[in-house]
């Protein structure tokens, strides 16, 4: 793992992170546009053709029926199901706190306010390539349910035609009935445009590979999306009080996601830096996914030594990590200085995987520095807000001259005329 001690090396590494986050690929975009155009034009026929090509030629229908969901869910280990149930309960409790209510106030001659309404139909993409993620089902469906979305559809790829029982167990636990065996850009296209079988949605959420991310970026505008998710990342701010075994384990927890994942330690302690560097080597070779984690650590991992913790915080704010762990003697003292992070984990007993699965906050987080302007997925992503205005005749008269004045200087005669015709009456 590279150890960074100079400004020059730091700049080079930050450039590497920026290039990694760009995620653009002209070849992929061309393929994705071809798929999307085909889905838009040919609907189910194209969707099934791509599903047979990329998943299994034996797939004959897109819909996974409720009886199939129940059947596969029964195959799930009961211990895992209990873990999903507890996690779902905690996730729902957390997201209940995010609910917004409509509001209004009276000015005497006018009522002004905001009306909160849930989205009508949402599509959730659940990855199913190298691994299957029942936690993705919980994290994307529960906030939509809490928001009041009544119509939720899931797209779940089934490589080689195989259906994952744990994904089905999570789906059954949440009571979702509308599930389709389709993945990749074709799933995004089907949800964005609609087909004979898959009804068009208003918003698409859920992570995926570069083809899924590219498709979401292209269809945005015709439908809403949650975010363009990049490779996973963790940044740890630590001082000499941190346990190097814990720090190394937490860095590797993200490195094993994929070769593009980024794991960074920023510390003011050279002794901790040396200990963590050695501990990573020791722990890495015990992992089943050591090849993936090793490439991630070699290419996008770093230990950065700063003059003090204040400088470490400033650098963290510049990077704006998806996951930020603070392992210092007094982490709460650091918290007010943190400006940019998707999720903040305080103290040595709060490893990032708690947030991935069972703590309660959402694990769908902004990546690639977008935490500077984005937030975790939440209930607020599944509602829309309408402004509310109601004026009496007296209230209208009081405001009429002001509106006429602004309309006139903007040269919008018809705007001003709506005021004048009422005053003439």
**Catalytic residue positions, numbered:** 322-323
Do the strands 178-180 and 151-155 form a parallel or antiparallel pair, or are they unpaired?
Answer: parallel
Give the separation between CA 11 and CA 249, rounded to whole angstroms: 26
User: What DSSP string runs through 292-331?
Assistant: HHHHHHHHHEEEEE-SSHHHHHHHHHHH--SEEEEESSSH
Are 51 and 58 in contact by the 8 Å Cβ rule? The answer is no
Angle at 138 between CA 132 and CA 141, to 5 degrees: 115
Are 225 and 192 in contact by the 8 Å Cβ rule? The answer is no
Burial of 273 (0-12, 13-18, 19+ CB in 10 A): buried
Are 208 and 23 in contact by the 8 Å Cβ rule? The answer is no
Task: Name the phi and psi angles at 203, rounded to 5.
Answer: -150, 145
Q: What is the 3-state secondary structure (H, E, C) of 363-398?
A: CCCCCCCHHHCCCCCCHHHHEEEEEEEEECHHHHHH
Give the separation between CA 130 and CA 135, rounded to whole angstroms: 15
Query: In 223-364, which residue ranges form alpha helices assigned H by DSSP?
Result: 244-255, 270-284, 290-300, 309-319, 331-334, 352-357
Paired tokens of 316: 């963290």
CA-only gyration radius of the chain, Å? 25
Sign of the Cα pseudo-torsion (37, 43, 44, 45, in order): negative
Are 143 and 381 in contact by the 8 Å Cβ rule? The answer is yes
Are 207 and 136 in contact by the 8 Å Cβ rule? The answer is yes
Sorted by sequence, the CB contacts under 8 Å of residue 284 that are 6+ apart come out as: 252, 290, 293, 294, 297
């Amino acid at each position: 793992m590279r150890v960074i001690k100079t400004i020059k090396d730091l700049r080079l590494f930050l450039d590497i992170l920026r290039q990694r986050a760009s995620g653009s690929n002209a070849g992929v975009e061309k393929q994705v546009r071809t798929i999307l155009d085909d889905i838009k034009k040919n609907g189910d026929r194209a969707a099934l053709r791509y599903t047979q090509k990329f998943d299994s030629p034996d797939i004959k229908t897109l819909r996974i029926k409720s009886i199939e969901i129940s059947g596969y869910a029964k195959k799930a280990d009961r211990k895992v199901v209990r873990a999903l149930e507890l996690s779902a309960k905690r996730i729902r409790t957390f997201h209940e706190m995010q609910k917004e209510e409509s509001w209004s106030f009276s000015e005497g001659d006018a009522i002004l306010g905001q009306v909160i309404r849930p989205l009508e139909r949402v599509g959730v993409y659940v990855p199913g390539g190298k691994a299957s993620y029942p936690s993705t089902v919980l994290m994307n469906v529960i906030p939509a349910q809490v928001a009041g979305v009544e119509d939720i559809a899931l797209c779940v790829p089934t490589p080689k035609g195989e259906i994952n029982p744990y994904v089905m167990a999570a789906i059954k636990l949440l009571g979702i009935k509308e599930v389709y065996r389709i993945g990749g850009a074709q799933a995004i296209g089907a949800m964005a445009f609609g087909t004979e079988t898959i009804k068009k949605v208003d918003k698409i959420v859920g992570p995926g590979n570069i083809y899924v991310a590219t498709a979401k970026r292209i269809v945005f505008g015709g439908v809403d999306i949650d975010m363009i998710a990049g490779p996973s990342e963790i940044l740890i701010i630590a001082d000499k009080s941190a346990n190097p075994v814990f720090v190394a384990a937490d860095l590797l927890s993200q490195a094993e996601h994929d070769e593009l994942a980024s794991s960074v330690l920023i510390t003011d302690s050279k002794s901790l830096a040396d200990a963590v560097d050695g501990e990573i080597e020791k722990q890495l070779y015990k992992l089943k996914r050591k090849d993936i984690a090793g490439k991630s650590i070699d290419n996008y991992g770093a230990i950065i030594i700063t003059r003090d913790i204040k400088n470490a915080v400033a650098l963290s704010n510049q990077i704006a990590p998806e996951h930020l762990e603070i392992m210092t003697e007094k982490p709460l003292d650091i918290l007010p200085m943190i400006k940019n992070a998707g999720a903040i984990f305080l103290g040595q007993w709060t490893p990032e995987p708690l947030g991935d699965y069972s703590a309660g906050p959402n694990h769908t987080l902004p990546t690639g520095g977008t935490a500077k302007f984005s937030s975790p997925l939440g209930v607020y992503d599944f509602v829309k807000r309408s402004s509310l205005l109601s004026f009496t005749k007296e209230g209208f008269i009081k405001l009429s001259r002001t509106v006429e004045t602004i309309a006139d200087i903007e040269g919008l005669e018809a705007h001003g005329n709506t005021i004048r015709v009422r005053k003439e009456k």
